[in-house]
Structure 1
Amino acid sequence: MVATRQFNVRTRPGVGAVAAVVHGAVSYLAFLAVFLYAVAFLADTIVPRTVDRGGPYSGTPIAVAIDALLLGVFAVQHSVMARPAFKRRWTTLVPPYVERSTYVLAASASLALAFWQWRPIPAVVWDVPGAAGQSLLWMLFTLGWVWVLAMSFAIDHLDLFGLRQVARHLRGLADQAPSFAVPLPHRLVRHPMTLGFFPAFLATPTMTVGHLLFAGLGIAYILVGVRLEERDLAEELPEYTAYAAVTPRFIPGLARHRR
């Protein structure tokens, strides 16, 4: 499910409209860079620092503490800035039309910090032998990331990353309240995008302790984050509660979700 926004009230663009578009474009490019880095980071390839190599070795206890703190910074930023109460206060300081792109930029920066300061923990949890098994896991890994990106278009890719807001402001179109819409993937599950993160995080022929820590904390954050998001959606959109009552959260065809 997605709350879509309509822009059909014309206003005069502000003096900073062009700057807002530049800001939105920079924020989007930052997202793309971090997204691609995340793929290479977990694939343990191409980039200088990955989940399993490149960072300083700190010993397992210290590495666990540092890595958990880095992911905690991202989780706090990503969740707090998404809450309606924060947005109401934040948009008294920044224009509403750059709120989303600023959120995207901050999220990209916090995740980039995690990649930059990550401490590898190289102890192996599992190592899948054989080309067939390895190929299957790499295929699942790739499909997971492709699915995440594809589901952003199933919602509204431009709106999700703040580009539509700044472009509309440049054209003199004012934002209106979100409306309730259910794109096709959201008719099967409430959070189709997040499904892609599970294989993206976990599908790897060689799983190290550091990689498993990243995957475990990442999935834990997803499970908490979607509940916070659903609480906000239920308060903002009256139709959401009825939708959630008949649509499973993650697994298609699962019996009605019970709270």
Structure 2
Amino acid sequence: MQTQPTVNSFNLGRIFVFLYGVISYIIFLITFLYALGFVGNILVPKSIDAEAQISFLPALLLDTLLLGIFALQHSVMARKEFKAWWTKLIPQPIERSTYVLFSSLALLLIFWQWQPLGGVIWNIEQLWGQIILLSLFGLGWLIVLVSTFLINHFDLFGLRQVYLYLQGKNYTHLEFKTPAFYNYVRHPLYVGWLLAFWMTPKMTVTHLLFAIITTLYILIAIQFEEKDLVEIHGETYENYRRKVPMLIPFFGKKAS
């Protein structure tokens, strides 16, 4: 006769791992929504273009440091060498959730300590211009969100990993696929971020610093990311990379 499983420390461990993943995801959602308000100066107590509180040079150095901390965390924790070491210290099923959690904390640190610089690069006062730029800003955030679901939102943010562990199943890597946006650019997520960071009717010096540094980070991060993808998917990704542009649709696309 098959006995029913009892709630033991092993099962409690699975439940703890699952709850950890869910909490990390909730923190990410809160951070994502706050990021939209922070960059867009919408309904947050302190946005990217708030009033300057300290002198220009200290603010510039601090903001650059904050963005550097995020870039370092986001890149180092994504490398397979780090993951191999890191998963000796933490359970494998929460590796992705921990990455998501640390990324959220790094962003929250930026929101908390960000120091506006003052100064305006451009300010579009015509209504039609504001509508166009704000629409592209919103489109960027929408592209980011939709792109995550196209490639499996829940795997990207660690929920699939902890759910499989809760069920006692082994994690399996997702197969390589190129749905919708991914037929036109290899990195629609980054296209969305670039639109979100650059499309603003009022470009301040602070916002420009943020946009430039994040753009440089994206261009560097793509190189590391694609190297990892080639190692995982081999010739399949190489063929995809030859046929589909990196960020600009139809730019440099080769015939099949």
TM-score (norm 1): 0.90
* % identical equivalent positions: 44
1:186 corresponding residue in structure 2: 182
**Residue 14 to residue 180, structure 1, CA distance change in 2 (3 Å):** farther
How far is 1:36 from its partner? 0.7
Tell me the distance in 1 between the aligned counterparts of 2:159 and 2:136.
30
CA RMSD of aligned residues (A): 1.5
How far is 1:223 from its partner? 0.6
How far is 1:166 from its partner? 0.4
Give the one of 122, 126, 132 matched to 2:122: 126
Greater Rg by CA? 2
1:144 corresponding residue in structure 2: 140
Tell me the distance in 2 between the aligned counterparts of 1:89 and 1:174.
20
1:108 corresponding residue in structure 2: 104
Question: Can you list the C-alpha shifts for 1:186-212, whole angstroms capped at 9, x where unaligned?
Answer: 222111111111120011111110011
Mapped pair 1:39 → 2:36: yes
How far is 1:256 from its partner? 4.4
How far is 1:124 from its partner? 0.7
Give the one of 231, 249, 254 matched to 2:251: 254
- State the one-letter code of the partner of 1:50: S
Q: Which runs of 5+ in 2 are unaligned?
A: 1-9
Residue correspondence of structure 1 range 1-259 to structure 2 within 5 A: 15-53=12-50, 57-238=53-234, 239-256=236-253
Tell me the distance in 2 between the aligned counterparts of 1:140 and 1:215.
15
TM-score (norm 2): 0.91
Tell me the distance in 2 between the aligned counterparts of 1:97 and 1:114.
28
Question: Can you list the C-alpha shifts for 1:222-254, whole angstroms capped at 9, x where unaligned?
Answer: 111111100111122212122212211111212
2:3 corresponding residue in structure 1: none
- Count of residues paired in the alignment: 244
SS at match of 1:45: coil
How far is 1:14 from its partner? 5.1
Tell me the distance in 2 between the aligned counterparts of 1:173 and 1:135.
49
**Residue 227 to residue 14, structure 1, CA distance change in 2 (3 Å):** farther
Tell me the distance in 2 between the aligned counterparts of 1:28 and 1:223.
26
Tell me the distance in 2 between the aligned counterparts of 1:127 and 1:199.
17
- State the one-letter code of the partner of 2:125: P
Q: Which runs of 5+ in 1 are unaligned?
A: 1-12
Structure with higher RCO (Cα < 8 A, 6+ apart): 1
Tell me the distance in 1 between the aligned counterparts of 2:148 and 2:75.
18
- State the one-letter code of the partner of 1:21: F
